Amino acid sequence: MIIVHHLNNSRAQRILWLLEELNVPYEVRKYQRMPNYKAPPSLLEIHPLGKSPVIEDSNEGEHIILAESCAIIMYLLQKYGGKQTLSSEGTLDDLYYTYYAESTLRPLIVVRQRLSRFADRAPWYLRPLFRYVLEAYRVMYVDPELPRNSQMIQEHLSNNPWFARGSDGPAAADYAMIFGLEGLIAERAITPESHPAITRYIDKIHARPAYRAALKKGAE
Ligand SMILES: N[C@@H](CCC(=O)N[C@@H](CS)C(=O)NCC(=O)O)C(=O)O
């Protein structure tokens, strides 16, 4: 049986969603973030980077351990996915957004989140200076990127129900993208008014029975 090493409030949730959609049995091993929001050291016993998600499975008789959420998504779809055939343009979209999710979108969101938290960790007398520098960095380098990215996604989802053009259900790119889109909402980088197609897309996924079942298993 597949084991998912699942950290609360993390990317691991989308792996549970995928497994529920695939109807593949799995076991969830839960880990709680520490007060500093880092993963507990016990995750280091599973994988050298100590992050989540990580899965364990048996593949052609061999026990495997796999990290990186998008690698896990592709592995699970290749091994357990049905025969969803995408057009050549749909295949390109799927490829693009699966890589884009972790290499471009998530880093932007993470940098923005961290910039707003770092100043609070500085000694009190340095905080105003830290805030000034971090705010300047955010305004110059991060903030101009987010609207451009959100606009691209908004346009794509205005014309297509799923990330892979022509697809009639979620593909790798959808499992990859949902965490970043939820992050845009959490960061208040987009609102239902400013980006209605993205909001509708997220609501549609959140209403899926498999997503709801995954939430129950992951608890958060
Ligand atoms: N690119 C990796 C990122 C893994 C990652 O950073 N996971 C976060 C949870 S969303 C984590 O484990 N954070 C805890 C920590 O960094 O200690 C992936 O997509 O799996």
pLDDT tens-digit map of 119-175:
787 888 988 898 888 888 888 888 889 999 999 999 999 999 999 999 999 999 999
Q: Is 74 in the pocket of ligand 1 (CB under 6 A)?
A: no
Identify the burial level of 97 via C-beta atoms within 10 angstroms of its C-beta, where 0-12 means exposed, 13-18 middle and 19 or more buried.
Answer: buried
> Torsions phi, psi of 3, nearest 5?
-110, 130
CA of 130 to the centre of ligand 1 (A): 26
- Which atom of ligand 1 lies closest to the CA of 72? 20
pLDDT confidence tier of residue 205, bands split at 50, 70 and 90: very high
Average pLDDT, the chain: 93
Q: At what angle do helices 172-186 and 88-100 cross, to 10 degrees?
A: 40
Residue nearest to atom 9 of ligand 1 (CA): 10
Q: Quick one: average pLDDT of 5-13? A: 95
Q: At what angle do helices 106-118 and 145-159 cross, to 10 degrees?
A: 140
pLDDT tens-digit map of 86-95:
999 999 999 9
Residue nearest to atom 3 of ligand 1 (CA): 68
Q: Quick one: average pLDDT of 42-53? A: 97
Residue nearest to atom 1 of ligand 1 (CA): 68
Q: Is 52 in the pocket of ligand 1 (CB under 6 A)?
A: yes
Q: Quick one: average pLDDT of 50-78? A: 95
CA dist., res. 55 & res. 11, Å (int): 12
Q: At what angle do helices 172-186 and 145-159 cross, to 10 degrees?
A: 130
Q: What is the pLDDT of residue 157?
A: 98
Q: What is the pLDDT of residue 84?
A: 74
pLDDT confidence tier of residue 220, bands split at 50, 70 and 90: low
Q: Is 51 in the pocket of ligand 1 (CB under 6 A)?
A: yes
pLDDT confidence tier of residue 22, bands split at 50, 70 and 90: very high
Read off the tokens for 186: 């959490």
Number of C-alpha atoms within 13 angstroms, CB side, residue 83? 0
The alpha-helical segments, DSSP class H, found in the chain are 12-22, 69-80, 88-100, 106-118, 127-137, 145-159, 172-186, 196-206, 209-218
CA dist., res. 183 & res. 189, Å (int): 8
